[in-house]
Structure 1
């Protein structure tokens, strides 16, 4: 059976694994990307590929940013400015010309993953929301991935939403980096000194000094989802990301949705692929491109 190296490039970490053509994952790992430039991340990826080039059948990459997947090019990368207009397929092709290399937007990868192995196998209209460093996702409409005229569909974090603290971009209050930044400012420390896991764990343990930050996280997300539901009217809204591993995530989100009149949350579910949806979808795109 063929095995592929699959990477998910995010602003906080790069996840990677071996995956076969039926989506089985082996040797899952990650390394930090926070504070690094894009070129150094690509060098780390190149090293991993070269170490395994004799046994890998192809390389599939999921990445944040606006991606022209047909050309294999990063058009815009908010987290890694030096990768703007970087032609990944050509760059990799010069290094390992014998290997097929693909790159796709991470939100679109999550959509493909749900359609292939997740909650949306039988659905023609659904939305995937990924909660990580920021908030992204993708839209599957009338049986097809909807990309938009400028390939920007699913850049949900740039939408303005409302919370108890006022009007903000969704990334600022419901992206994990925004949550970390607000908590660090509250404590008077550097953002790098706190993690999203630590914040939500402390809140769960009764640190109600975090009440406003956590409440804003859920209320901003709930208002966004409620509006999205009425605009698109999908069969399902599927949420993935590390935060969804918490048993309290969906009940907390549901209670905040009710504040906006969204009383039937049966269309909202957690992805069974958790925080590996982008990896799974990257391989799906690679196999079907």
Structure 2
């Protein structure tokens, strides 16, 4: 009997994938570069599934863009426009048969589900996950459940206005663009060399640390905007850069400074907890898996077992 599951997280620069057992344990973890063309993307996904077909019972996807929960159709596609209108469930079912279980969930919502399932939002009733990457993803938990919104786009933080409406948070709050700005200043051959950039940040190199602090202030402003409207208890910070403790710590510091600057720290806004996501950059993989398990009535026993 096939007892494993393949979880695939589609990002703007990388496609990460993980092979899980029925208890939610990550067995295999790897990544490939995200293709720039839709045709090449489908070939890459089909190849990944085919490589694991003999051992997996289902495939779970975390994707950018709005996902219709009933149809699995993706709208917009974020940094990957070729995802717009794509139904991955239909494509894979046609290719591999309907015995292969397939689910598709938005990346920010996947991160929130992972943290709610087994992470730093466990047992939280009102909270959110903020995922810092190519854009800014998000997932909102209200009354212990994922909040999707009327049009299934709740948590699309990349759409929020920044700089008096001249920019949106998808670019203004992009961790990738922040890293590239620092890398370009120091003439790195690889502008996406986040590890070396954070070496500079962690030792407080003046230019790198200034750009990073300004970036964290932007995310703190974003959190304040959300907090003013829905008053959550906790925020978890995810995405690749969240593996660096300085990220959540500095966002928290900037949030408190922002409250003080706006004179909201006494009788204004009650500060929420701001912590690093338990699953870090793998949150989307776990959350997508949770979505697959919880959406299948026949898998309730396995979900309870986990």
TM-score by length of 1: 0.89
Describe the superposition over 1:206-235 as per-residue Cα deviations: whole angstroms up to 9, x where unpaired. Answer: 432224421221110011112212211112
> Aligned-pair RMSD on alpha carbons?
2.4
Q: How does 1:113-152 map to 2 (within 5 A)?
A: 113-152=114-153
2-side partners of 1:251 and 1:75: how far apart? Answer: 34
Match of 1:287 among 289, 293, 297: 293
- Scaled by the length of structure 2, the TM-score of the pair is 0.85
Residue 130 (structure 1) shift: 0.9
Partner of 2:232: 234
Q: Residue 266 of structure 1: CA displacement? A: 5.7
For 1:253 and 1:42, locate their aligned partners in 2 and report how far apart those are by CA, in whole Å: 37
Q: Would you say 1:88 and 2:91 are equivalent positions?
A: no
Q: Compare 4-13 and 239-248 and name the one that shifted more.
A: 239-248
Unaligned runs of 5+ in 1: none
Deviation, 1:20, is 2.0
What aligned pairs does 1:167-182 form with structure 2 within 5 A after superposition? 168-182=167-181
Q: How does 1:104-115 map to 2 (within 5 A)?
A: 104-115=105-116
Runs (4+) off by over 4 Å: 184-190, 262-266
In the superposition, relative to structure 1, how do residues 112 and 251 fare at CA in structure 2: closer, same or farther (>3 Å)? closer
CA–CA separation in structure 1 for the residues paired with 2:62 and 2:15: 10
Partners in 2 of 1:247 and 1:78 — Cα distance?
Answer: 27
1:193 to 1:182, Cα distance in 2 relative to 1, 3 A? closer
CA contact (8 A) 1:132 1:242 kept: yes
Equivalent pairs, count: 285
Shift of 1:118: 1.0
Selected match of 2:274 from 256, 268, 271:
268
Aligned to 1:220: 218
Shift of 1:168: 4.1
1:59–1:173 CA distance, 2 compared to 1 (3 A): same
